[in-house]
Amino acid sequence: MTETEPHEQPDGADRAYFPELDGLRFFAFLAVFIFHDGIPQFRRWVNSAMEAARSAVPSLAAGRDVGFDIQQNGWTGVQFFFILSGFLITTLLLREERRYGRISLRSFWVRRALRIQPLYFLTLILTFFLLPWLNGDVGFPTYHKFITTHLAPFLIYLGNWSMGILGPVPYDSVSILWSVCVEEQFYVFLPIVLVLTPRRARVPAVVLLMAAAIAGRYWMAKSNVNVLLFQFATTTHLDTLFSGVLLALLMDRFPPGPRAAWVAKISRPGLLIALGFVLCGPDLARKTVGRQTWDYVILWLLGAGLIGSLIVRPGVLRSALGYSRLVWLGKISYGLYMFHEIALWTARKVFVAVGWIPNGELLKTILGFALTVAFAAVSYYAYERPFLRRKVRWERVKSRPVS
């Protein structure tokens, strides 16, 4: 294997697995964790660091609450999940087509069901029934309205639309499921697009779909639609999802060579600097029609570019993201995402029961993160892994090994 080839695991030349993307997946989760106030001290820590930096460079982000801006931009972690999903799923489907001459829709949908549904429906049980009962909410009119309004849509992966059209849900542990609903809708749509579109027409077809999604987002922003509908609608995020698809199609059609590796080498520092600048900026994808429309495009351009550079060119960043502990955290990142609000709720309840203790805020942060990892790890090994082992029977191209 040369350093310019997309790399695969040594346990099989046909295995389509990029461990550094698991490392990246963990950082995407961490951004969401910070956004949901999983680290309340984060804003203060960042601003303290900025104050120290301003002693050397007085004009550096003068007058800005940079810690607040970064925390508020943590929602972009979900956008990275979307890009990664589009890229990895399409890569597997294209390799399957190259090997067998066709894409099996049945096999794909069974694999997705075995990966997504067990934990998704467990989370629905916990967040629609167990947590409200523990919280003493069952029996109140607001709980009854919540159940009758939102349970049925979430059961068929349309919860993002019910939140956007019918109103918000009262529990953060439920609201985070909107992104899983978006991905499940995308998983129904994507393989059909690939099967029905001739190979040579796929790139232009995906570009047209992305352009339509951008135009739709512009129309929604221009029409000043309900904020929740704009935030949770599948159409708002379609170009982000398809950006990963486009990256996979381009890498399949034009296999990376020395020139791609050279481009990745010289562009990666610029991509990281630009991404850092965007994530530190205020009002990302807010305030104006232009920003609501085009900030998403900037995000997926930078995100897809970074993912592509990681795959075609080794380096310090790829090695760091491929560190075994980060890869492991990325492997359980689905559980980290699904359980983090439950873990934070549990940590708050524990500290309310315990009362005041020294360094309580920091200890609560540590407990919240530790519980998130513990819940996700127990879920993966005791609950999800048996379903993942069944999923292997439906694999047509090997992906991440189940361990």
Mean pLDDT of 87-91: 96
Q: Rg of the Cα trace of the chain?
A: 22
Q: How far apart are CA 46 and CA 23, in angstroms?
A: 23
The whole-angstrom separation of Cα 96 and Cα 101 is 8
The pLDDT tens digits of the residues spanning 13-61 come to 456 789 999 999 999 999 999 999 999 999 999 999 988 888 888 777 7
Inside any domain, residue 230: yes
Domain containing 99: what range?
Answer: 19-47+79-392
pLDDT digits (tens, 9 = 90+) for 215-264: 999 999 999 899 999 999 999 999 999 999 999 999 999 988 899 999 99
- Percentage of the residues of the chain whose pLDDT score is greater than 90: 84
Residue 136: inside a domain: yes
Res 393 pLDDT > 60: yes
Q: Please check whether residue 6 lies inside any domain of the structure.
A: no
The number of distinct structural domains making up the chain is 1
pLDDT of residue 253: 92
Interval 280-337: pLDDT, tens: 999 999 989 999 999 999 999 999 999 999 999 889 999 999 999 999 999 999 999 9
In-domain check, residue 67: no
pLDDT digits (tens, 9 = 90+) for 344-354: 999 999 999 98
Q: Is residue 156 included in any domain, yes or no?
A: yes
- Residue 36 domain flag: yes
Length of the chain: 403
Rounded Cα–Cα distance for residues 337 and 343 (Å): 10
Please tell me the pTM assigned to this model.
0.93
Taking a C-beta distance cutoff of 8 angstroms, is the pair 241, 86 a contact? yes
* pLDDT on residue 4: 33
pLDDT the model gives residue 136? 93
* Distance, CA of 96 to CA of 306 (rounded, Å): 25
- Residue 91 contacts by C-beta under 8 Å, 6 or more apart in sequence? 16, 248, 251, 252
**CA gap 395, 135 in Å, rounded:** 42
C-alpha distances out from residue 313 to 5, 7, 257, 268, 319, Å? 8, 9, 10, 10, 11
Does the residue 177 lie in any domain?
Answer: yes
Do the domain assignments include residue 397? no
> What's the pLDDT score for residue 60?
75
Percentage of residues of the chain with pLDDT beyond 70: 96
